[in-house]
Amino acid sequence: KCQLMLSQPRCGSCPTLQSTFFSAFTHWHINKMNAIISVCHFCELHGPSVVFCTQAFRNASNLDELNDVVSALSKSDQKTSEEESSQEGKLWKYGSIKLENNAELYSITGSESCIACRSFTHNKPGYISNDDGAHVSYVSSQFPMQPDLHRLVRQACIRSLSCEVCPSREGPIYFGDEARGHVLSYSFFLKDVQARGFQRWYSILVLMKDKMFLLNSWPFLVKNLQQIINQLQESAAKIYGEQESKVSHRSLRSAASMMEPTAAGDNFKKQRVAGQPRSLVELVGSEGVWLKLHTSLTWLLKAGGLRLQERLVEGPPIEALPGDLHGEPCLSISELYSTLGPSMFHRVLHHLLIGHQLVIRCHDSNITAAIVLTLKPLLPRHCYNATSFSMEYIENSSANILGLHSSVEIPESITENICILDLVHKNGRKSEPDLSDSFGYIDKKTPFMCETKEEIIATIRKTNTEVSREGPLCTRPPQALSRIETAITNVSSLPGALSIYIATIVDEWMNKVKVWVHVIRHGIQPATGELSPANNAPLLGSLSSANTLALKSFVDDVSSCAGPSINPNSSAEQQQQRLLTAIGAIDWDIPLLTFWAQNVS
Residues 84-94 pLDDT 10s:
445 445 666 67
Mean pLDDT computed over 14-32: 37
| Res 26: pLDDT | 34
Mean pLDDT of the chain: 73
Q: Are the C-beta atoms of residues 269 and 210 closer than 8 Å to each other?
A: no
Residues 6+ apart with CB under 8 A from 139: 22, 26, 54, 55, 56, 57, 92, 95, 126, 127, 128, 145
Q: Give the pLDDT of residue 508.
A: 93
Give tens-digit pLDDT for 436-465: 444 333 333 333 444 577 778 888 888 888
pLDDT band at 259 (very low <50, low <70, confident <90, very high): very low
Tell whether the model's pLDDT for residue 403 goes beyond 90.
yes
The Cα 254–Cα 251 span in angstroms is 5
Residue 297 contacts residue 71 (beta carbons within 8 Å): no
| Dihedral of alpha carbons 226, 227, 231, 232, sign | negative
Residue 284 scores a pLDDT above 90? no
pLDDT tens-digit series, residues 507-560? 999 999 998 888 888 765 433 333 333 344 333 333 444 444 444 444 444 444
Determine phi and psi for 511, rounding to 5 degrees.
Answer: -65, -40
Structural domains of the chain, ranges and CATH numbers in brackets: 4-305 (no CATH), 325-473 (3.40.50.12430), 495-596 (no CATH)
* pLDDT tens track for 315-341: 555 444 443 334 454 688 888 898 888
Q: What are phi and psi of 583, to 5 degrees?
A: -95, 0
Q: Higher confidence at residue 153 or residue 455?
A: 153
